[in-house]
Amino acid sequence: MSHFKAPPKKNLGQHFLTDRNIIEQIVHALDPKPGDLLVEIGPGQGAITFPLLKKHGHLTVIEFDRDLITPLSEAAHGLGELTIVHKDVLQVDFNKLGADQAIRLIGNLPYNISTPILFHVLSHCQKIRDMHFMLQKEVVDRMAAEPGSKVYGRLSVTLQALCEVIPLFDVPPHSFNPPPKVDSAVVRLIPRPADTVGIHDSAMFAAVVRDAFGQRRKTLRNALSKLCTSEQMQAVDIKPESRAEQLPVSAFIRLANLLSA
Ligand code: SAM
């Protein structure tokens, strides 16, 4: 009999994966190797957790819903060593998980707070080896968008500056209970080594990207007028009459570095 009695909670973004093929595809994409430190955000009723635990033998999960903590621990019995962190993932300091070892993060994320979770984990980027996340397909499209695309924006530039973004496969609503209203997709993020990112001042980089896309229809000359002059843009090979959506990630980094020098 199932250990899980409570119905899915909308306010916690609970859409439980029920499609075995998709679960297998996720485990296959993760391809855990002995010794890997696996951490799952939002295990829910264990759709991904238990297959991973059986395969890998140990796993740490971070779950906010108190009604799931005891059932998770009971259902894990005999499958492997499950460490349950009962916490809001936004309060978790990933640097304190698992000594010096880099984390492999995985999660079918609660869509209502997926962007804050992404930015929170990115602030621990150097502790993370890779991430496999289920998100709204629309978010994955924005994460992976290239310059010139309509959906290339703040999320694309911020993420691509810090990580390699690799969309893996799409997942339809009927793979979940209850089905979400939108299509989903699984994405792999691989943090770039710190010495190759090249951002000198992350606050300045964030400000440049925010202002550039805050007024995406405006030319960069107008959108960035509070932060820099046309001459400064030209000094790093940016045309002041161009728009943010045309600018590659490397150009945002060059401009931010010039302004923080
Ligand atoms: N992994 C399960 C699956 O695939 O069926 C559940 C995924 S469900 C989309 C998201 C999970 O994240 C839920 O279990 C929910 O309780 C949990 N969650 C929501 N907000 C959270 C938070 N702030 N911190 C940690 N977990 C959270």
CATH number at residue 217: 1.10.8.100
- Ligand 1 mean position, distance from CA 146 (Å): 30
Handedness of CA 198, 200, 201, 205 (dihedral sign): negative
Low-confidence ranges of the chain (pLDDT < 50): none
- Ligand 1 mean position, distance from CA 101 (Å): 24
Both 139 and 178 in a single domain? yes
Q: 72 vs 14, 49, 61, 82, 233, CA distance in Å? A: 15, 9, 10, 9, 54
Closest residue by CA, ligand 1 atom 23 = 88
Closest residue by CA, ligand 1 atom 14 = 44
- Of the three residues 197, 215, 249, the one that is the final residue of a domain is 197
**Closest ligand 1 atom, CA of 49?**
1
pLDDT at res. 97: 86
Both 143 and 246 in a single domain? no
- Of the three residues 172, 197, 222, the one that is the final residue of a domain is 197
What is the rounded CA–CA span in Å between residue 36 and residue 149? Answer: 36
Both 223 and 144 in a single domain? no
pLDDT at res. 150: 94
H or E element: which one contains 140?
helix 137-144
**Closest ligand 1 atom, CA of 9?**
16
**Closest ligand 1 atom, CA of 62?**
25
- Classify residue 47: in a domain, yes or no: yes
Both 190 and 210 in a single domain? no
Both 83 and 102 in a single domain? yes
- Classify residue 147: in a domain, yes or no: yes
Both 152 and 173 in a single domain? yes
- Classify residue 66: in a domain, yes or no: yes
Q: Token match 């430190």: residue?
A: 37
Neighbouring residues of 220: CB distance < 8 A, sequence distance ≥ 6: 212, 233, 238, 239, 240, 241, 242, 243, 244, 247
Both 240 and 151 in a single domain? no
Q: What angle do CA 100, 105, 107 make, to 5 degrees?
A: 155
- Classify residue 4: in a domain, yes or no: no
SS3 37: strand
Both 223 and 164 in a single domain? no
pLDDT at res. 206: 95
pLDDT at res. 1: 59
**Closest ligand 1 atom, CA of 42?**
12
Closest residue by CA, ligand 1 atom 17 = 42
pLDDT at res. 100: 83
Both 186 and 85 in a single domain? yes
- Ligand 1 mean position, distance from CA 107 (Å): 8
Both 191 and 208 in a single domain? no
- Classify residue 1: in a domain, yes or no: no
**Closest ligand 1 atom, CA of 90?**
23
Residue 118's CATH number: 3.40.50.150
- Ligand 1 mean position, distance from CA 156 (Å): 24
- Classify residue 3: in a domain, yes or no: no
Q: How many domains does the chain have?
A: 2
Neighbouring residues of 203: CB distance < 8 A, sequence distance ≥ 6: none
**The two three-digit tokens of residue 181, written as one number:** 């209203």
- Of the three residues 145, 164, 197, the one that is the final residue of a domain is 197
Residues with CB under 6 Å of ligand 1 are: 12-17, 41-45, 47-48, 62-65, 88-90, 108, 110, 113
Domain of residue 234 covers 202-260
- Ligand 1 mean position, distance from CA 54 (Å): 20
Both 92 and 187 in a single domain? yes
- Record the pTM: 0.95
Closest residue by CA, ligand 1 atom 18 = 42
- Classify residue 95: in a domain, yes or no: yes
**Closest ligand 1 atom, CA of 176?**
5
**pLDDT tens across 17-40, in order?**
999 999 999 999 999 999 999 999
pLDDT at res. 72: 97
- Classify residue 63: in a domain, yes or no: yes
**pLDDT tens across 99-143, in order?**
788 999 999 999 999 999 999 999 888 899 999 999 999 999 999
Both 75 and 169 in a single domain? yes
